[in-house]
Amino acid sequence: MGDILKMNRMMIIGTGSALPERVLANSDLEKMVDTSDEWITSRSGIKTRHIAAKGEETSKLSTAAAMKALEMANIGAEDLDMIIVGTITSEISMPSCACLVQKNIGAVNAFAFDINSACCGFLYGLDIAEKYIKTNPDMHVLVIGAENLSARVNWQDRNTCVLFGDGAGAAVVSGSSSGRGMIGGRMYSDGRLHKLLWMNSAPSMNPALAIPDHDGSYIKMAGRDVFKYAVRALSQAVTDVLDQEGFDLADVNIVVPHQANIRILKSLADRLDIPLEKLYINVYKYGNTSAASIPIALDEANRAGLLPEGEMILLCAFGGGFTWGASLLRW
Ligand code: COA
């Protein structure tokens, strides 16, 4: 607990999440593609995922999650100084999803922007917010991870469509001198591996810049390679952030990882030599919601009373880019 003496940490003071109403079960997918509940469950751990309908676009889910986080933080939208949304599936390209959220909640004093770092969007967002808050602890920042991946998967491709879901999670953060808050983070990218997990943009309107043989703006993935890299990268990030901050895994009370796949999480726990029970897992309910998965899990764990004050929480994520990272927090 020596870290407790450090001042001006970025602390999460409110969390919120929102999920589309419609739930798609593995048995529903059996009627859509050549798959089975047994295959999906044994390969991914996923049983159901939420699928957005009209009125549940990324900015709308983000807004709903943000309102809940603001309510818990007990501040008004006008108290926000900055809004960051991690997303790769905003319903429009310009303006940012963050600007739509700003408008929807009335955060008239904030500046707002999106970041594209796939499943690491929320972690990268927290990391950026922390740098601002370190120099100005009075700031209030809204960090959101939100996705509508169901709009961007190929529903004929059984290799990908069974794995993803929609949703949004949010956190309101501010400065604290109590010793609680973010201890440190380590973020990484390796763009050389981008063709292992990627998604085209919409076809170009400029013929000179059009991608030849554009085959749709769907998520494409080399599943086995992604699996291998994910386990290695996640364990590296976890080990590095602990080394950097002078802690070890025994000091960590709960790991809230990106929820991609139960087999990745089991392999991660094995590699780190920690019991699976130390990981908060909800992938079976929501599938892989990319940038939304960590803030949804955090909010769920928070509201269930699973994050007692003073406990050490470790967040870690891996996704397209590749991007990966880990953050350590004193709750
Ligand atoms: N239902 C039934 N069969 C399926 C299927 C589905 N939904 N999807 C793929 N298959 C088939 C494949 O076509 C293949 O058949 P074949 O041997 O006749 O060609 C077979 O199952 C095995 O495919 P393979 O890709 O080797 O399976 P796997 O054991 O590697 O599992 C993943 C596939 C995608 C579940 C696994 O690789 C994985 O979890 N990767 C990481 C994915 C991920 O989390 N990505 C996001 C990271 S942020």
At CB < 8 A and 24+ separation, what contacts does 189-194 make? 189/117, 189/321, 189/322, 189/323, 189/324, 190/321, 190/322, 191/321, 191/322, 193/229, 193/321, 193/322, 194/320, 194/321, 194/322
Separation between Cα atoms, residue 279 and residue 269, nearest integer Å: 8
- pLDDT of 275 reads 97
In three-state secondary structure terms, 159 is helix
pLDDT digits (tens, 9 = 90+) for 254-280: 999 999 999 999 999 999 999 999 999
Write the DSSP string, 70-103.
Answer: HHHHT--GGG--EEEEE-S--SSSSS-HHHHHHH
Write the DSSP string, 264-290.
Answer: HHHHHHHHHT--GGGB---HHHH-B-G
CA of residue 33 to ligand 1 center, whole Å: 13
Residue bearing the CA closest to ligand 1, atom 40: 223
Task: Judge if the beta carbon of residue 223 lies within 6 A of ligand 1.
Answer: yes
Taken in order of first residue, the domains within the chain and their CATH numbers are 9-178 (3.40.47.10), 183-330 (3.40.47.10)
Task: Judge if the beta carbon of residue 321 lies within 6 A of ligand 1.
Answer: no
| Residue 115 token pair | 């970041």
**Residues β-bridged to residue 14:** 172
**Which residues are catalytic, by number?**
119, 258, 288
Phi, psi dihedral angles at 116 (to 5 degrees): -105, 95
Please identify which residue in the block is written with the tokens 């973010």: 182
pTM higher than 0.85 for the full model? yes
CB 327 within 8 A of CB 185: yes
Residue bearing the CA closest to ligand 1, atom 2: 35
Residue bearing the CA closest to ligand 1, atom 8: 159
| Per-run averaged pLDDT (10 residues), the chain, 331 residues | 66 98 98 98 98 98 98 98 98 97 98 98 98 96 98 96 98 96 98 95 90 88 97 98 98 98 98 98 98 98 97 98 98 98
